[in-house]
């Protein structure tokens, strides 16, 4: 079910200061996708989620779920949360400790006075779906964190919501379990084919889980796209920096060619991926991701940029050697294969293809 958000504003006043938690948010969340709201702490993600659920009242704008208006400032419409047909999973699993797994999952159906046989059938089906068959009689507290989170998911799914919303649901799990649960969640949600709106400030989680991501900052949507679009073809300085570690270097356009934009920067003259609508003399920012920097002289991939420098520092972190290369006075963050013999002080030649030299407007 598609969610449409139009010109949504929400202001908070606290200690005499006004905060624009949502500042003219316009967003369409496509049906049957895992859609993530990603951004730094305080950017407005939770406020937007709470407005969709109906736990928060916006100041102005409109929210439609599956074509039905659930909130409108101008038409004075407010549909309460329980009538919006949504399921929600929070950061704290909020499962009831005094109940068994079965009782926890059955609860939303019991409050609707559903027939006992139907409840038994639906709970069994949902528990099988989240792979908790056989756990029905276990007290909810006698489960691992990942299993408790799956109980919370089952409880949100059992009433067959049209849309499911998640607010940082994995942040209480340890790193390994978070990774496993993230993978399971993607499988569950894709299989279910329902609309899922997911809030996180964890970029890896967003990249791994989502069909689409919207990046938020200061109450606004800055950019949206598939994980690969956001990572490889971000248009904004803020997004490129937030979504993964990158080298951002001021540059000036010197020429436009059909297949490349040429720039001058502290690393020299570089051929970059074309940035349309820029002219010689325009100031831009070059984004060079460490994973695209190569340390051999191979020309196999066609025309390439060559940058010479010296290794300033290298630290072994297991999966790689991370460090910095000094090019003139500019420091480049690099990642080198962990078995490399390179060491501090070594001269180094870096190659990077034009397609991987991304230009952003300033
Ligand atoms: P986090 O990732 O830290 O949860 P967030 O992106 O979800 O952050 P929100 O919780 O939506 O951010 O908050 C957006 C802004 O609104 C923040 O500046 C926050 O301090 C402010 N805010 C949120 N709720 C209230 C409130 N009830 N009263 C006053 N200010 C609030």
Ligand 1 mean position to 42 CA, how many Å? 5
Is the Cβ atom of 201 under 6 angstroms away from ligand 1? Answer: yes
Ligand 1 mean position to 228 CA, how many Å? 28
pLDDT in tens, 158-197: 988 889 999 988 887 778 778 888 888 898 888 888 899 9
Is the Cβ atom of 46 under 6 angstroms away from ligand 1? Answer: yes
pLDDT in tens, 96-117: 888 999 999 999 898 888 889 9
**Whether the Cβ atoms of residue 288 and residue 352 lie closer than 8 Å to each other:** yes
Short-list 250, 239, 277, CA closest to 261: 277
Min mean pLDDT across 16-20, 42-46, 66-70, 144-148 is at: 144-148
**Tokens 């609508």 sit on residue:** 277
Q: State whether the Cα torsion 242-244-247-250 is positive or negative.
A: negative
- Residue 35 phi, psi (nearest 5): -115, 120
**Tokens 């990572």 sit on residue:** 231
Is the Cβ atom of 316 under 6 angstroms away from ligand 1? Answer: no
Distance between CA atoms of residues 29 and 36, nearest Å: 9
The residue whose C-alpha atom lies closest to atom 5 belonging to ligand 1 is 42
User: Mean per-residue pLDDT for 121-130?
Assistant: 89
The residue whose C-alpha atom lies closest to atom 1 belonging to ligand 1 is 41
What is the average pLDDT score of the chain? 90
Is the Cβ atom of 122 under 6 angstroms away from ligand 1? Answer: no
Ligand 1 mean position to 29 CA, how many Å? 21
Burial class for 44, CB neighbours closer than 10 Å (0-12, 13-18, 19+)? buried
Distance between CA atoms of residues 354 and 9, nearest Å: 41
User: Mean per-residue pLDDT for 139-157?
Assistant: 86
Neighbours of 321 (CB within 10 A): 20
Ligand 1 mean position to 51 CA, how many Å? 12
**Whether the Cβ atoms of residue 234 and residue 35 lie closer than 8 Å to each other:** no
Is the pLDDT assigned to residue 136 strictly greater than 60? Answer: yes
Ligand 1 mean position to 218 CA, how many Å? 10
Counting ligand 1 atoms within 8 A of each CB, the residue from 46, 205, 220 with the most, and so the one to mutate, is 46
% residues pLDDT > 70 (the chain):
97
Q: Which pLDDT score, from 0 to 100, does residue 302 have?
A: 59
Is the pLDDT assigned to residue 254 strictly greater than 90? Answer: yes
Distance between CA atoms of residues 309 and 347, nearest Å: 6
The residue whose C-alpha atom lies closest to atom 10 belonging to ligand 1 is 46
Q: Point out the ligand 1 atom lying closest to the alpha carbon of residue 10.
A: 16
Is the pLDDT assigned to residue 150 strictly greater than 80? Answer: yes
pLDDT in tens, 295-324: 865 555 556 899 999 999 999 999 899 999
Is the Cβ atom of 21 under 6 angstroms away from ligand 1? Answer: yes
Q: Which pLDDT score, from 0 to 100, does residue 73 have?
A: 92
Ligand 1 mean position to 21 CA, how many Å? 6
User: Mean per-residue pLDDT for 190-214?
Assistant: 92
The residue whose C-alpha atom lies closest to atom 25 belonging to ligand 1 is 12
Ligand 1 mean position to 60 CA, how many Å? 18
pTM of the model: 0.86
Is the Cβ atom of 14 under 6 angstroms away from ligand 1? Answer: yes
Distance between CA atoms of residues 234 and 223, nearest Å: 8
């Amino acid at each position: 079910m598609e969610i449409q958000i139009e010109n949504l504003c929400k202001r908070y006043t606290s200690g005499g200061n006004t905060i624009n938690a949502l500042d003219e948010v316009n967003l369409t969340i496509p049906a049957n996708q895992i859609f993530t709201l990603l951004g730094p702490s305080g950017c407005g993600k939770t406020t937007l989620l709470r407005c969709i659920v109906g736990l928060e009242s916006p100041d102005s704008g409109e929210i439609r779920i599956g074509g039905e208006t659930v909130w409108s400032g101008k038409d004075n419409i407010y549909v309460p949360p329980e009538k919006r047909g949504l399921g929600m999973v929070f950061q704290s699993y909020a499962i009831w400790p005094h109940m068994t797994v079965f009782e926890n999952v059955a609860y939303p159906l019991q409050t609707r006075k559903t027939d006992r046989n139907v409840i038994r059938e639906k709970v069994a089906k949902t528990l099988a779906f989240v792979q908790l068959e056989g756990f029905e009689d276990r007290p909810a507290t006698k489960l691992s964190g990942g299993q408790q989170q799956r109980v919370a998911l089952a409880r949100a799914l059992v009433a067959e919501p049209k849309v499911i919303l998640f607010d940082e649901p994995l942040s209480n799990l340890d790193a390994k379990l978070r990774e496993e649960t993230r993978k399971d969640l993607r499988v569950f949600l894709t299989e279910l084919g329902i609309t899922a709106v997911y809030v996180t400030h964890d970029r890896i989680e967003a990249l791994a889980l989502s069909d689409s991501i919207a990046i938020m900052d200061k109450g606004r949507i800055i950019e949206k796209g598939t994980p690969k679009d956001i990572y490889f073809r971000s248009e904004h300085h803020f997004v490129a920096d937030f979504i993964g570690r990158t080298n951002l270097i001021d540059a000036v356009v010197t020429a436009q060619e059909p297949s490349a934009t040429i720039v001058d920067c502290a690393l020299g003259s570089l051929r970059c991926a074309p940035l349309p609508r820029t002219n010689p003399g325009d100031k831009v920012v070059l984004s060079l991701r460490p994973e695209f920097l190569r340390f051999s002289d191979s020309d196999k991939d066609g025309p390439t940029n060559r940058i010479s420098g010296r290794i300033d520092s290298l630290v072994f972190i297991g999966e790689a050697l991370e460090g910095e290369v000094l090019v003139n006075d500019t420091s480049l963050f690099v990642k080198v294969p962990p078995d490399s013999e390179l060491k501090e002080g070594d001269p180094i030649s870096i190659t990077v293809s034009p397609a991987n030299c991304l230009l952003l407007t300033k």
